[in-house]
Amino acid sequence: MDELAKSIQEKYIDDLTSRYPLHRFFMLFIVAFFMSNYNIGNTNIYEIMSKTSVKEFFDFKDGFLSKVTIIQFLMALVIVCFLSVAYRKINAFFLLH
Full domain range(s) for residue 79: 2-96
Q: What is the pLDDT of residue 97?
A: 64
Is-contact 76 28, C-beta < 8 A? yes
**Position 31: which residue type?**
V
8 A C-beta contact, residue 35 and residue 76 = yes
Residues 6+ apart with CB under 8 A from 45: 34
pLDDT of residue 22: 65
Q: Decide: 63 and 55 in contact? Cβ < 8 Å.
A: yes
- Phi, psi for 65 (deg, rounded to 5): -65, -25
For the chain, list residues with pLDDT below 50. none
- Compute the half-sphere exposure of residue 31: CA atoms within 13 Å on the CB side of its CA: 19
Number of domains observed in the structure of the chain: 1
